[in-house]
Amino acid sequence: MVFIAAARILTLRWGLLLLVVFSFLVSVVWSYWHPISAFYMMPARIWQFGLGGLVYIYAVAWRGGDVAASDRGPKILLASGLTLILGSAFLLDERTLYPGYWALFPSLGTALVILSGSLKQIDTMGSTSLAHPLLVWIGDRSYSLYLWHWLIIVLLGFFGLEVGSNHRGLWLALLLTLLLAILSYRWIELPFWKGRLRSLASKTFLLGAGAVVSLVLAVAFHVQRVPLNAVDPQVDLAASIRGDLPAIYQMPCDAWYQHAKVEPCVFGPSDAPNTAVLLGDSIGAQWFSAWAHIFVPPQWRLVVLTKSACAMVDEEYFYPRIGKVYDVCRQWREAVLKQIGNFDPKVIVVGSAATYGFSHKQWVEGSKRVLERLSAIAERVVLVSGTPVLGFDGPSCIARQLQVGNLATNDCISESPTEKFDQVAYLLSTAASDFSNVQVFNPVDLVCPRGQCRAVSPTGIPVFRDSQHLTDTFVRSTVKHLRKQLLGVANTE
């Protein structure tokens, strides 16, 4: 029996170790080639759970051995673990490719700290500040904090408080997360851990958990099958606003970060005497419908070249959404600048968001390098600066206000200042000043009159389809204004 038990432990240890190694390799590879999957998908993250299992196995195996018998062994493990954790806190930043191999350091550090306390419970932890009652209290509720925080962030965003751009929203998120963590720890986690439910039979527990999961799935399935006439009209309104997109989103013009191939969308006859090119990221591309009404067939052909989150600024930058430097953007931008002359454009319209983290020098010099190449190709280049962000989800705010009553003129108004966007427009104008055929258009006053951004325009048109992109209906409403501002760009009469 002893031999069988030892064989089982050995098999479990090696099986778990192989799973940890395989999952970690998947995490490293996916972090380079598919970073969103590497962050969210279980195959790339299960190694961290497996690491916890190995800590338990080795703690049981080593307990009572030489490592545990010595005061030095657990203390060395503790010191090593704290060094890795603190080092990760100071050395890993927003430019670190994560999870990838960098995730090994804080994860391994945490494992070593747990292992050190598991081997010897006497003075190993008591002699450190980790045993402080406040830290122990937070540690007990840490998993509940982790489980609640993202739900709170999403809900606050629904109610118009974007945590990332609103200090009041941040503090409210922290308070609500802590409150819910305390309650769920007291009434859910603690009873199963140390309370009256800890002796619950495994079969009973699994049957109960299965019933809860089945109930949730049944409710979700029912919600999906609700007939359209039973849907809340305000919720349906929000969905329709979110879907108010330009036609190019139904076409393969934009591969985002997947690859750097140049895949244009072309509108109008191939033999049109004039060609206009729309070049930019999603903020630039949101103006497509306006340009399609200005550069009209048969005199014009409109070519769209777009790459989401790809700034038309010749500078490298870190893209948090994929967790690494956006090298695909650099490759695509270079390929576009080499190929754009093949379209023989008369006009090139360039647009990018103003929220990239470039310095003033990078905005000017990086834009100047792009404009130098474009101005030599086209008769005229129109540089459209980025539109302001709303700071909260526009469709949700509209639906919420209409659900409780009428949408008043002072509802769904952003508190975010627009000075930053005017500043970027000024920097782009500085970059364009060296080129006689480059014009800069700043749409801040058009989108947010008098520096005040609204989810709904004074004429009743929804302005934003999320927290930063314009609705296609609003863009179409600006055609006369754009034609007036850019008189001479196209003869559409």
Is 50 exceeded by the pLDDT of residue 451? yes
Mean per-residue pLDDT, 11-21: 85
State whether residue 384 is helix, strand or coil.
strand
In this prediction, residue 64 carries a pLDDT of 54
Mean per-residue pLDDT, 73-98: 85
CA–CA separation, 60 and 9 (whole Å): 10
The amino acid sitting at 76 is I
CB neighbours of 369 closer than 8 A, spacing ≥ 6?
Answer: 314
- pLDDT tens column, 313-346: 999 998 888 878 899 999 999 999 999 999 999 9
Q: What is the pLDDT of residues 357-368, one digit of tens each?
A: 999 999 999 999
Domain 240-485: which topology?
Rossmann fold (3.40.50)
pLDDT tens, 263-281?
Answer: 999 999 999 999 999 999 9
- Return the percent helix, strand and coil in the chain, to nearest 5: 60, 10, 30
**What is the rounded CA–CA span in Å between residue 277 and residue 378?**
10
Q: Please give the share of the chain, as a percent, with pLDDT higher than 90.
A: 48
Asked if 265 contacts 303 with a C-beta cutoff of 8 angstroms, the reply is: yes
In a 10 Å sphere around its CB, with 0-12 CB exposed, 13-18 middle and 19+ buried, how is residue 34 labelled? Answer: middle
What value does the mean pLDDT of the chain take?
85
**Are 141 and 185 a contacting pair, CB within 8 Å?**
yes
Q: What is the pLDDT of residues 356-406, one digit of tens each?
A: 999 999 999 999 999 999 999 999 999 999 999 988 889 988 888 887 667
Task: Please state the rounded mean pLDDT for residues 10-27.
Answer: 87
pLDDT score, position 229: 43
Partners of 319 in the beta sheet?
A: 324
Where does the pLDDT of residue 160 fall: very low under 50, low under 70, confident under 90, or very high at 90 and above?
A: low
CATH 3.40.50.1110 residue window(s) in the chain: 240-485
DSSP letter at 298 equals: T
pLDDT the model gives residue 462 = 94
